[in-house]
């Protein structure tokens, strides 16, 4: 991409419309001071950036830069505009035009195209700073720059080579964090000022309230009761407090009355007679249980005896039947039919009679055993009845005691819930405390009446509410400010980390620029003794770039004015040639040989010739016509990329004008071949 034309009207030294058709090869602008050479380059600068970057002071007495951009000479310009045409490598053309009202049509999109596209992070100012090398800024933008600024200049030039640069984003984050922090701090300060005013108003309201005897007495009453005017609601809220206290008092009266009702019962269950009776019943119950065990043991023994007699009686019945059967049979051949023993008749009869007598007593024994069981069962029943009666009496006494004690505990819990410090077992003392509560409510009602009669209480309550709300808000805002401070600290850390990484990458990528700088330095030969220049990077967060020669000597303070300009040209040209992100292949130089001797001026011409041979468009403004001749001769052109020389002068109206235009055609390729053949 190259410049095709520059057209101006009513711009600085040009009153009339004038158009410079610039060839793709090179253009030389020459003429005396004030003829308009620099104005052509100013026009390109102004079209792209909206300003002219060679002026470091924007405002001064007699008018600033804005007052002198357009024609201010004799007569009035018919129109005011600057238009620069560009042609891309593919032949497409676009124009950037500015008027007094600003950019025209799609000029903003075209400027973005010059800077590398919509997504580029390179500004128009950086673009022109690395495209246009002016006499006024050669040293200022190179050797005399601070170490940090010099580093930034190189980093901007090679920005497209080092990947994403998060410096702008981190700066935006830091600015946003600082802005939020400052805004929060101002808000907190405003709240603190407002709190101070509210406290003053509260003090004044309290002072006015204390000056009234009745109000002072009411306030003292509240203070004695460890109360203060409610923050919200004023007297209405205080009235609600009185109502709540009365409701509490009514419940306390009910509880105290219950304590009085329980006092006789409590005295009874804690009396010696009651405890003796309860102890006696428990003793009787224990004795009855012992007797029950004894009679139950006797009953068990009687039952076992009866059962044994019943079994014996059954055996006796069988034996009696057997004896009767044997008696009926009689002796059998002198032998007993029952035992087959030899017996006489008398012996047999005597034995039968004895057996019958013995068996006849079994019935009496069984009857006696049955009677013993019956008596034992009656004894058990009697003991059990005694136990039941004694147990019921003991249970009744215990239940009554428990009921009374539970009622006392319930009243005690009621006292505790209501914050009433009294013992329910001492209703007389509780009644005294209750009377104190009644007296306190009466005093509170009187204080309420006094405060309602005056407006002081409401004013104090209102300001108390305001102060409390402000303090809560200040606490919340203070916490937010602490968060904002932490966010700023974190943003600074992120920015420092981003700068460190970017500087490290830039230092590595500077290897693409340094060989070019060294080559240009050698060709321009700023110093006869020190023919090599070295660079040194430093700084982590803020990168630095130093130039040295020899054994570490500083170029800025070692070289003369002309030598510093030559070294500065080498630096600025190397930056320009390192812009791989930029498709605009035009080098602009405004009188670059000021304060440079002829020897180094010729060296610069050779360097520009080499740059021209790379296909780059070179546009140079010089005052010396002889130097213009040399440039036209050395800056080679081709049939497709011609050269052109513009001789400028000043018209009779004081406006710049073109005195002569000369096309510089390329030298024929065959002109030297016959001489070579001969």
- Cβ neighbours of 172 (radius 10 Å): 13
Q: What is the pLDDT of residues 312-367, one digit of tens each?
A: 766 666 676 777 777 777 777 777 777 777 877 787 777 777 777 776 666 677 77
Q: Calculate the CA dihedral of residues 367, 369, 374, 376 and round it to 10 degrees.
A: 160
pLDDT-based confidence at 541, cuts 50/70/90?
A: very low
Range(s) within the chain of domains with CATH label 1.10.287: 251-428
Cβ contact 610:566 at 8 Å: no
| 251-428: CATH topology | Helix Hairpins (1.10.287)
Measure CA of the first residue to CA of the last residue in the chain; give whole Å: 43
In this structure, are residues 620 and 4 in contact, taking their beta carbons and an 8 Å threshold?
no
Q: What's the CA gap between 210 and 192, in Å, rounded?
A: 27
C-beta of residue 427 within 8 angstroms of C-beta of residue 266: no
**Is residue 193 over pLDDT 60?**
yes
Residues 6+ apart with CB under 8 A from 361: none
Asked whether 8 and 18 are in contact (CB, 8 A), the reply is yes
Instruction: Kindly report the backbone phi and psi dihedral angles of residue 478, in degrees, each rounded to the nearest multiple of 5, phi listed first.
Output: -65, -40
Lowest mean pLDDT segment, chosen from 278-292, 371-385, 543-557: 543-557
What is the model's pLDDT at position 677? 46
Query: pLDDT-derived band of residue 524, with 50, 70 and 90 as boundaries?
Result: low
The domain defined by 1-54+64-122+636-678 folds into Rossmann fold (3.40.50)
Of 363, 179, 28, the closest CA to residue 20 belongs to 28
DSSP bridge partners of 30: 622, 647
The confidence score (pLDDT) of residue 482 equals: 92
User: What's the average model confidence in pLDDT over 499-520?
Assistant: 64
Query: Minimal CA–CA distance to 571: which of 28, 130, 136?
Result: 130
Residue 624: name the closest of 31, 103, 172, 145 by CA.
31
Residue 7, both tokens:
């057209």
Q: Give bridge partners of residue 335 from the DSSP assignment.
A: 332, 342
562/569 Cα distance (integer angstroms): 11
Residues 581, 123: Cα–Cα separation, whole Å: 12
Mean pLDDT of all residues in the chain?
80
Q: How many CB atoms lie within 10 A of CB 670?
A: 6
- Model confidence at 195: pLDDT above 70: yes
Reduce the DSSP state of residue 47 to 3 states and report it. Answer: helix
Q: Which residues are 82's β-sheet partners?
A: 8, 98
Distance CA 122, CA 502 (A): 15
C-beta of residue 623 within 8 angstroms of C-beta of residue 33: yes
For residue 20, which phi and psi values (nearest 5 degrees)? -110, 110
Give ranges for CATH 3.40.50 in the chain. 1-54+64-122+636-678
Closest CA to 316 of 324, 88, 249: 324
Dist CA 163 CA 357 (whole Å)? 139
Strands 617-622, 26-31: pairing is: parallel
Instruction: Give the C-alpha separation, 159 to 359, whole Å.
Output: 141
> Is the separation of the CB atoms in 470 and 194 below 8 Å?
yes
Q: Helix (H, G, I), strand (E, B), or coil: what is residue 579?
A: coil
Strands across the sheet containing 544-549: 534-538, 544-549, 553-554
Q: How are the residues of the chain apportioned to helix, strand and coil, as percentages rounded to the nearest 5?
A: 60, 10, 25
Sorting pLDDT into bands at 50, 70 and 90, what band is 10?
very high
CA 582 and chain centroid, separation: 41
Rounded-to-integer distance, Cα 445 and Cα 245, Å: 10
pLDDT digits (tens, 9 = 90+) for 216-266: 666 677 666 665 555 445 567 777 888 888 888 899 899 989 989 988 988
Q: Which of 30, 39, 40 is nearest to 631 (CA)?
A: 30
Closest by alpha carbon to 285, among 156, 138, 397, 418?
397
């Amino acid at each position: 991409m190259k410049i095709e034309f520059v057209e101006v009207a009513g711009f600085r030294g040009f009153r009339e419309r004038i158009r410079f058709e610039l060839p793709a090869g090179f253009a030389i602008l020459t003429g005396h001071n004030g003829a308009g050479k620099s104005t052509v380059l100013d026009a390109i600068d102004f079209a792209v950036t909206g300003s002219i970057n060679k002026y470091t002071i924007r405002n001064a007495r007699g008018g600033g830069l804005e007052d002198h951009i357009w024609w201010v000479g004799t007569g009035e310009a018919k129109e005011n505009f600057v238009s620069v045409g560009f042609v891309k490598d593919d032949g497409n053309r676009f124009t950037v035009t500015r008027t007094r009202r600003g950019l025209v049509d799609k000029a903003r999109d075209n400027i973005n195209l010059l800077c590398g596209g919509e997504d580029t992070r390179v500004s128009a100012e950086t673009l022109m700073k690395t495209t246009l090398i002016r006499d006024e800024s050669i040293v200022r933008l190179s050797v005399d720059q601070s170490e940090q600024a010099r580093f930034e200049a190189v980093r901007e030039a090679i920005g497209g080579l080092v990947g994403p640069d998060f410096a702008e984003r981190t700066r935006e984050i830091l600015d946003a964090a600082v802005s939020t922090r400052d805004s929060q701090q101002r808000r907190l300060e405003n709240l603190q000022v407002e709190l101070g005013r509210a406290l003053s108003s509260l003090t004044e309201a309290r002072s006015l309230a204390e000056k009234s005897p009745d109000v002072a007495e009411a306030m003292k009453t509240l203070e004695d009761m460890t109360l203060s005017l409610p923050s919200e609601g004023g007297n209405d809220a205080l009235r609600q407090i009185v109502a709540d206290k009365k409701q509490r008092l009514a419940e306390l009266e009910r509880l105290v009355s219950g304590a009085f009702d329980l006092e006789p019962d409590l005295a009874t269950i804690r009396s010696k007679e009651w405890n003796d009776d309860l102890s006696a019943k428990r003793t009787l119950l224990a004795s009855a249980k012992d007797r029950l065990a004894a009679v139950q043991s006797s009953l068990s023994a009687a039952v076992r005896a009866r059962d044994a007699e019943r079994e014996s009686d059954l055996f006796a019945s069988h034996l009696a039947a057997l004896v009767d059967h044997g008696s009926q049979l009689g002796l059998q051949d002198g032998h007993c039919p029952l035992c087959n023993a030899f017996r006489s008749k008398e012996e047999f009869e005597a034995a039968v009679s004895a057996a019958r007598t013995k068996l006849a007593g079994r019935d009496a024994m069984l009857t006696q055993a049955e009677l013993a069981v019956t008596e034992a069962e009656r004894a058990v029943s009697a003991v059990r009845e005694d136990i039941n009666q004694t147990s019921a009496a003991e249970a009744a006494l215990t239940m009554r005691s428990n009921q009374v004690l539970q009622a006392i505990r319930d009243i005690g819990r009621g006292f505790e819930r209501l914050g009433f410090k009294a013992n329910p077992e001492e209703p007389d003392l509780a009644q005294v405390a209750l009377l104190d509560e009644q007296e306190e409510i009466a005093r509170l009602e009187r204080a309420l009446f006094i405060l309602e009669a005056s407006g002081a209480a409401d004013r104090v309550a209102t300001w108390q509410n305001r102060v409390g709300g402000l303090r809560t808000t200040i606490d919340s805002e203070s916490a937010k400010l602490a968060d904002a401070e932490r966010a700023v600290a974190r943003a600074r850390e992120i920015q420092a980390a981003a700068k460190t990484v970017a500087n490290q990458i830039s230092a590595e990528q500077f290897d693409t620029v340094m060989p070019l700088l060294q080559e240009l330095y050698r060709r321009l030969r700023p110093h006869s003794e020190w023919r090599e220049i070295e660079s040194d990077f430093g700084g982590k967060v803020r990168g630095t770039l130093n130039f040295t020669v020899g054994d570490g000597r500083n170029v800025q303070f070692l070289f003369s004015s002309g030598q510093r300009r030559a070294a500065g040209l080498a630096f600025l040209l190397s930056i320009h040639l390192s812009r791989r992100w930029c498709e605009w292949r035009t080098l602009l130089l405004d009188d670059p040989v000021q304060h440079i001797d002829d020897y180094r001026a010729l060296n610069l011409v050779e360097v520009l010739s080499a740059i021209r041979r790379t296909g780059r468009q070179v546009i140079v403004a010089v005052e010396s016509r002889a130097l213009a001749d040399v440039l036209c001769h050395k800056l080679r052109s081709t049939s497709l990329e011609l050269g052109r020389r513009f001789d400028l002068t000043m018209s009779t109206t004081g406006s710049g004008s073109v005195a002569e235009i000369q096309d510089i055609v390329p030298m024929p390729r065959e002109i030297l071949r016959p001489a070579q053949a001969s």
